[in-house]
Amino acid sequence: MTCCASAAVSGSADQMGRRVLITGLDTFWGGRMAQALESEPDVEMILGLGANEPRVPLERTEFVRSDQKYSILSRIVRATQVDTIVHTFLETNSVNIPSRLLHEINVIGTLNLLAAAGSAGSSVRQVVVKSSTHVYGSAETDPAWFREDTQRTSPVRTRLERSLIEVESLVRDFTEDNPHLVVSVLRFANVLGTDIITPVSFNLRRRLLPCIAGFDPLVQFVEEDDVVRALEYVTGQQIPGVFNVAGAGKLPWSEVASIGGAFLLPLPPFRPRAFVAPLRQAGAVQFPPEMEGLMRYGRGVDTSRLVGAGFQYRYTSAGAVESFARANNLRRSTGSGEPEYRYEQDVEQFFRHSPAVVRGIDG
Amino acid sequence: MLRVSKEPSDTTRTGPRSLHPRGGELIDATAERTSAPVVGDNRTEPERDDGGSMPTPPPVSVLPVASPQPMNGAPHDPRRSDVDEWGRSENMRSILRRVYDPVYRYWFRVEWEGLEKIPHHGGALLIANHAGAIPSDAPAIMHGIEEELGRPVYGLADYFFRTIPVVGTMWSRTGGVPAHPDNAYRLLHDQQQLALVFPEGTKATSKTYTDRYRLRRFGRGGFVEIAMRAGVPVIPIAVVGAEESMPILFRIGGLAKALKLPYFPVTANALLMGPIGYVTYFPVKIKLRVLDPVTFDIEPGLERYSRSRVMDEAETIRAKMQDSLHDMLRERRSIWFG
């Protein structure tokens, strides 16, 4: 991230670096994004909202506990004069989330967020939204590659898709109403990587990847580091617009199992989710409804727009699967290996604000 | 008119051959087997070939597990199969070619005329008349061109195929692509491939024997518009013989609806052979005539083209194909021997 000092902020904040607010600090992406931004010298202040404590160690990010609908958000925005909002807290995986909560988090949360960002006299200059390629759906009538402006060809069938589409339409209206703001929407393909747990990685970790018998669709993945880098890139470069983000190329579902080191579990083509329901209930496999179309017809998104804007991927689709597989091999040998971090309010406050702490020293 | 005859006697085969999905060059199958099982670079999309001109951003904080990714140039692509972005696998294709070759040579005794009009390089939209309850023309055309020109042909067809388990996957692995305008444009313009399409669609394959060799409506002329936009020629191919290989006597509408099929044909093959008739063609002689490529003197890349121009061009091509079919039928003395 080279630039972004210029035009980053406006008004009274001319002398300051960027002031960034991240939603969902307690989630995987919020935590990752905060960590990434902490190493940016021109990001002056990072503020994270979350319903729970952060789960990753953070150096200078301030944490504010908030409910999932961000009812206090406009007060926070006014008080902290943030100029950038990175909205990472959108659920893009419907496993274990009740329908009502999904709607509250995605739609109502975004609604409040945008209301706060667009209120009169708001200091916000950029909004970055982390969406998903689930908005395109997956059907036999799909083109092999969706561009950002390609319409989905099938009716909306799952609640996750419905809520994400509603979120994007809110964002679209917000963009129209606030033409002076930089609004970026990133649609990420299914993510795999060293740490993230998604339905696909959950199943691969258990060495059993469900598939629909007779179908071997072509799918895309994006590596978790590329997700964070893409968010960071768009935030730093202040690029407005909608962007697909996915690793180059597609690979058949069977190859995902083969690279990921798992066996395929063929399910009957007729109502495969009902068939696997006992296993789902037992927590042995994850198979959310939005995966069914994907496992039949796959999905491809054209990423030339973001590449054209200068973003460079480190992983292809197959590379993302391999990245997962390598991390998984390590885990199998050494156990989970992830250091258990617990957020201690007093300790964190001490390190951030006590005059006793000498800041600017690495250690 | 030059004739490219494809009789078994005058063709000497050098051994199993296979083609690169992109390179379009013939290589020896044994050589391919000895080479590395995974070749990554011919699968990367053209627009993703970023030359590394942009400055690489500094690394973000990475959690414990280190990655082996190179920092410059295209990322490493650990693919294991040779399935391309359309689902086509050259390995599957070459297996199918080996299996289908005897059918092509000795059953249908396929004979081409004007095959030299199909270019060795660059994109072109091949269109043909379509016939037979389970059409025998598409495999013959794809096989012939891949064998003779050594470059892949992607067959654009109805989405319906994708919904059938196993069949849909096999169809995709052997070069079938759903006929979406975006797919056609990407194949023809971005990748300069050969794409084969049957503009009549299922209206042609579902017609009964009494309507044989009467071209149906050419859709809404979408194929002309795609070719205009992609800036590639349309190359019509007239097919004689496929109509008689599996002629439909009548259709059962109710059964089609119940089975969710586009149509349910009762074929002469089925009446003579029973259920086996649905997978057995009559040993007719198939003749293919490649007509002169049609180019459109119009700016490519436009969002929309004049509807009247598109329909006129489509109708002109249709008339030419119909004339050509009549001409070939006048010359034909026997359904079985040509």
Gap between the terminal Cα atoms of chain A: 24
A159, A102 in Cβ contact below 8 A? Answer: yes
pLDDT per position as a tens digit, A170-193: 999 999 999 999 999 999 999 998
Residue B7 exposed, middle or buried by CB count within 10 Å (0-12, 13-18, 19+): exposed
Alpha helices per DSSP H over chain A: 28-38, 73-80, 99-103, 109-117, 159-177, 199-205, 224-237, 253-260, 272-275, 277-281, 290-297, 304-308, 317-334, 345-353
CA atoms within 13 A on the CB side of A102: 18
CATH of the domain at A52: 3.40.50.720
pLDDT per position as a tens digit, B127-157: 999 988 888 999 999 999 999 999 999 999 9
Rounded Cα–Cα distance for residues B318 and B305 (Å): 19
Q: Is position A60 within any domain?
A: yes
Q: Which of residues 65-124 of A touch B (CB under 8 A)?
A: none
Nearest to B142 by CA among B321, B17, B42, B288: B288
Amino acid at A348: E
Question: Which residues in chain B touch residue A59, judged by CB atoms under 8 angstroms apart?
Answer: none
Q: Which of residues 224-243 of A touch B (CB under 8 A)?
A: 225, 228-229, 232-233, 236
Whether residue B51 lies within 8 A of chain A, CB to CB, comes out as no
For the beta carbon of residue A333, count every other beta carbon within 10 angstroms.
8
- Those residues whose C-beta lies under 8 Å from the C-beta of residue A234, and which sit 6 or more positions away, are A128, A184, A186, A243, A306, A311
- Those residues whose C-beta lies under 8 Å from the C-beta of residue A212, and which sit 6 or more positions away, are A266, A267, A268, A269, A272, A292, A295, A296, B165
pLDDT per position as a tens digit, B192-241: 999 999 999 888 888 899 999 999 989 888 999 999 999 999 999 999 99
Token duo for residue B1: 């008119």
Query: What SS3 class is residue B209?
Result: helix
Question: Which residues in chain A touch residue B78, judged by CB atoms under 8 angstroms apart?
Answer: 259, 316, 318-319, 321-322
pLDDT for residue B316 is more than 90: yes
Min CA distance, B180 vs chain A (Å)?
6
pLDDT for residue B36 is more than 50: no
Nearest to A319 among B76, B163, B178 (CB): B76
| DSSP secondary structure string for all residues of B82-104 | -B-TTS-BHHHHHHHHHHHHHII
Rounded Cα–Cα distance for residues A324 and B67 (Å): 10
Residue B96 binned pLDDT confidence (cut-offs 50, 70, 90):
very high
- Those residues whose C-beta lies under 8 Å from the C-beta of residue B136, and which sit 6 or more positions away, are B108, B242, B245, B246, B281, B286
Min CA distance, A124 vs chain B (Å)?
25
Q: Is position A150 within any domain?
A: yes
Rounded Cα–Cα distance for residues B295 and B232 (Å): 7
For the beta carbon of residue A276, count every other beta carbon within 10 angstroms.
18
Q: Which helix (H) or strand (E) holds B226?
A: helix B222-230
Rounded Cα–Cα distance for residues B322 and B338 (Å): 18
Residue B7 binned pLDDT confidence (cut-offs 50, 70, 90):
very low
Output the pLDDT for position A362.
Answer: 53
CA atoms within 13 A on the CB side of B111: 18
Please judge whether A140 and B182 are an interchain contact, meaning their C-beta atoms are less than 8 angstroms apart: no
Rounded Cα–Cα distance for residues A40 and B58 (Å): 10
Q: Which of residues 268-287 of A touch B (CB under 8 A)?
A: 269
pLDDT per position as a tens digit, A36-67: 999 988 899 999 998 888 888 888 899 988 87
Q: Where are the domains of chain B?
A: 90-331
> For chain B, what is the radius of gyration of the CA atoms?
22
Find the closest chain B residue to A1 by CA distance.
B57
Question: Which residues in chain B touch residue A251, judged by CB atoms under 8 angstroms apart?
Answer: 79, 81, 83
> For chain A, what is the radius of gyration of the CA atoms?
21
Please judge whether A35 and B43 are an interchain contact, meaning their C-beta atoms are less than 8 angstroms apart: no
Rounded mean pLDDT, A248-276 = 94
Rounded Cα–Cα distance for residues A195 and B63 (Å): 8
Structural domain range at position A151: 17-192+221-246+299-314+338-353
pLDDT for residue B26 is more than 70: no
Output the pLDDT for position B48.
Answer: 40
pLDDT per position as a tens digit, A112-139: 999 999 888 889 999 999 999 999 999 9
Whether residue B36 lies within 8 A of chain A, CB to CB, comes out as no
Output the pLDDT for position B47.
Answer: 42
Q: Is position A265 within any domain?
A: no
Residue with tokens 């650990």: B78
Q: How wide is the angle at C-alpha A209 spanned by C-alphas A204 and A212, nearest 5°?
A: 155
Look over chain A and give the mean of its residue pLDDT values, rounded to a whole number: 88
Nearest to B282 by CA among B225, B203, B335: B335
Please judge whether A144 and B178 are an interchain contact, meaning their C-beta atoms are less than 8 angstroms apart: yes
Q: What secondary structure letter does DSSP report for B163?
A: G
Gap between the terminal Cα atoms of chain B: 18
Question: Which residues in chain B touch residue A304, judged by CB atoms under 8 angstroms apart?
Answer: 45, 47-48
Token duo for residue B260: 């969710």
Higher pLDDT, A259 or A361: A259
Min CA distance, A137 vs chain B (Å)?
16
Nearest to B316 by CA among B221, B231, B240: B221
Length of chain B: 338
Min CA distance, A165 vs chain B (Å)?
22
Whether residue B86 lies within 8 A of chain A, CB to CB, comes out as yes
Best mutation target among A218, A316, A330 (most B Cβ atoms within 10 Å) is A316
Rounded Cα–Cα distance for residues A94 and A292 (Å): 12
Output the pLDDT for position A352.
Answer: 77
Whether residue B83 lies within 8 A of chain A, CB to CB, comes out as yes
B160, B180 in Cβ contact below 8 A? Answer: no
Q: Is position A67 within any domain?
A: yes
Whether residue B47 lies within 8 A of chain A, CB to CB, comes out as yes
Nearest to B77 among A214, A249, A327 (CB): A249
Higher pLDDT, B47 or B316: B316
Q: Is position A75 within any domain?
A: yes
Nearest to A141 among B80, B83, B159 (CB): B159
Rounded Cα–Cα distance for residues B28 and B16 (Å): 7
Output the pLDDT for position A337.
Answer: 56
Rounded mean pLDDT, B296-323 = 93
Token duo for residue B242: 């496929």
For the beta carbon of residue B280, count every other beta carbon within 10 angstroms.
17
Token duo for residue B129: 């008349």
A193, A250 in Cβ contact below 8 A? Answer: no
| DSSP secondary structure string for all residues of A165-218 | HHHHHHHHHHHHH-TTSEEEEEEE-EEESSS---HHHHHHHTTEEEEETT---E
Rounded Cα–Cα distance for residues B225 and B173 (Å): 27
Asked whether the ipTM of the predicted complex exceeds the cut of 0.90, the reply is no
Amino acid at B191: Q
Residue B91 to residues B17, B148, B175: CA-CA distances in angstroms? 10, 18, 11
Residue spans of beta strands (DSSP E) within chain B: 3-4, 17-19, 26-28, 111-113, 124-128, 153-157, 176-178, 194-197, 234-240, 248-251, 265-267, 287-290
Q: What secondary structure letter does DSSP report for B292?
A: P
pLDDT for residue A25 is more than 60: yes
Please judge whether B166 and A36 are an interchain contact, meaning their C-beta atoms are less than 8 angstroms apart: no
Min CA distance, A18 vs chain B (Å)?
18
Rounded mean pLDDT, A136-147 = 94
Q: Which residues pair with A50 in a beta bridge?
A: A65
Min CA distance, B194 vs chain A (Å)?
17
Q: Which of residues 134-163 of A touch B (CB under 8 A)?
A: 140-145, 147, 150
Number of Cβ pairs < 8 A linking chain A and chain B: 152
Topology given in CATH for the domain delimited by B90-331: Glycerol-3-phosphate (1)-acyltransferase (3.40.1130)
Rounded Cα–Cα distance for residues B238 and B208 (Å): 19
Best mutation target among B54, B71, B80 (most A Cβ atoms within 10 Å) is B80
Report the number of distinct structural domains present in chain A.
1
pLDDT per position as a tens digit, B157-191: 988 889 999 999 999 999 999 999 999 999 999 99
